[in-house]
Amino acid sequence: MTTTTTARRALGTTGLQIAPLVFGGNVFGWTADEARSFELLDAFVDAGFNAIDTADVYSKWVPGHQGGESETIIGRWLQARPGKRQQVLIFTKVGGDLGEGRKGLSGRWIEQAVEESLRRLNTDVIDLYQSHWPDPDTPHDESLAAYQRLLKAGKVRAIGCSNFSAEQLATSLQTARAHGLPAYQTLQPEYNLYDRASFDGPLRDLVMLENIGVITYYSLASGFLSGKYRSEADLKQSARGRGVAKYLTPRGRRILDALDGVAGRLDAQPAEVALAWLMQREGVTAPIASATSVAQLRSFAKAASLVLGADDVRALDTASAPSGTT
């Protein structure tokens, strides 16, 4: 795969400069074995991208897995590719349920979990360490104080959160200011052309006001926005079909029609247009997308260079507007 140049953008106030798309590492050790994962990571970096997102809990959902499989593969790749660590940014997360009480955002668990992630990742620093889920049993100041210790020790470079509501994020920011603690600098929300309601509105307003970097997950709505799934028959041909069925609604079909129209005008694929919409969306720093083939990575590179015109954006915004909005 030929190296391209992808423009960097600041990830909020973290100081991290990332390419306009982040690789979703949930596939490593799950739908991509170690050899394929190495091939994908090589191609991703060769294309000019530089940020890889994973979590300690990936991929515990697979029968026989314990969690940590994705981090382990990334760490082995880094070990097998001397010099690559200086070319990439590693994002991982803590708080998901690993079983036997190994979950949440207590100070004790954060400081234990980071050591385990550092070991699996074969690195001495995590570029972005994120709270995977809100923890109602742990006060924000306890979690943020633990992150403060990790930042001072040089074990992480920046901190962020995932799946926080506007209220939860606002409360954490207030806590950080009140106690002189580091604040979350990034947010990882579920957001795409179909799933807009939870981010658009107060949460998006807050991150823009606070200059918080945003990296979106489920950026292609579990593959629905690729246009691969258009009927009940299509769903039966894929193991992911059950999770995509919820998108086969009149609104979902309107979104696909709009994607088809824009893709046709730009000689692109629907998935490329859907990712380009996110990349150009105010308030979004970069979408996360996963790939299991080098061909998909080529598509990512095209999405990063795609420029949507005002009419294209308007067509997509109108088709995807949640009920009751324009």
Joined tokens for residue 176: 């950080």
Residue 37: inside a domain: yes
User: How high does pLDDT run on average in the chain?
Assistant: 95
Q: Specify the residue for token string 């509105």.
A: 201
- pLDDT bin (cut points 50, 70, 90) of residue 92 is very high
Residue 317: inside a domain: no
Residue 151: inside a domain: yes
Task: Cis check for the bond before 198: say yes or no (omega within 30 of 0).
Answer: no
pLDDT in tens, 172-212: 999 999 999 999 999 999 999 999 999 999 999 999 999 99
Whether 58 is catalytic is: yes
Residue 202: inside a domain: no
- pLDDT score recorded for residue 240: 64
Strands 9-10 and 186-188: unpaired
Least confident interval from 162-176, 274-288, 311-325: 311-325
Domain residues for the domain of 87 are 9-188
Bridge partners of residue 162, in order along the sequence = 188
Residue 313: inside a domain: no
Instruction: Please give the single-letter amino acid code of residue 59.
Output: S
Residue 204: inside a domain: no
Active-site entry in 58, 129, 194, 218: 58
Q: CB of 295 within 8 A of CB of 306?
A: no
Residue 102: inside a domain: yes
- pTM, 2 dp: 0.96
Strands 9-10 and 17-18: antiparallel
Number of domains in the chain: 1
Residue 44: inside a domain: yes
Taking phi over 0 as left and psi of -120 to 50 as alpha, with beta for the rest, 22 belongs to beta
Q: How far apart are CA 168 and CA 136, in angstroms?
A: 10
CATH number at residue 61: 3.20.20.100
